[in-house]
Amino acid sequence: MRIALSADHAGFEMKDQLADWLRADGHEVIDLGTNGPESVDYPRFGAFLADVLADGRADRGITVCGSGIGVAIAANRNPACRCAQVSEPLSASLARHHNDANAIALGARLIGIEMAKACVTAFLTSDFLGGRHQRRVDQLANPSEREPA
């Protein structure tokens, strides 16, 4: 699987550890940076991830910042990206099962590397269930299909 990874300065160490682990497992990794502790703006790295998913260069994406929240918000600005901020494996599985998430966001200041690996494993091994969930995913991509309140 082609997996894109991005991170800000708070998440680059976790990103690098995940990249090495994913490569060792046979995945093709696209590293979008950042690659050091110097302060950077997390919205850029969430957007980089979404762009790579949108143009088909990657099948799935993982982005990391201090909490996982900022990069998830940034990635989700691109309608082709469905990024879920997760902190444990059940949320990562449900993001795939129900939301057809193509990316997850992790908080390097909130979880350790072993929990991050468990989240990534759940994310990569779970399938979208389709059915009633497809209608809802379609509404995410096409707001005009939602009924007004």
Q: Which of 27, 81, 83, 98 is catalytic?
A: 98
Q: In what order do the strands lie in the sheet with 83-85?
A: 28-31, 2-7, 60-65, 103-107, 83-85
Active site includes 119?
Answer: no
For the chain, the distance separating the N- and C-terminal CA atoms, rounded to the nearest angstrom, is 40
Q: Which of 9, 65, 81, 119 is catalytic?
A: 65
Active site includes 81?
Answer: no
Report how far residue 81's alpha carbon sits from residue 103's, in angstroms, rounded to the nearest whole number: 7
Catalytic (active-site) positions? 65, 98
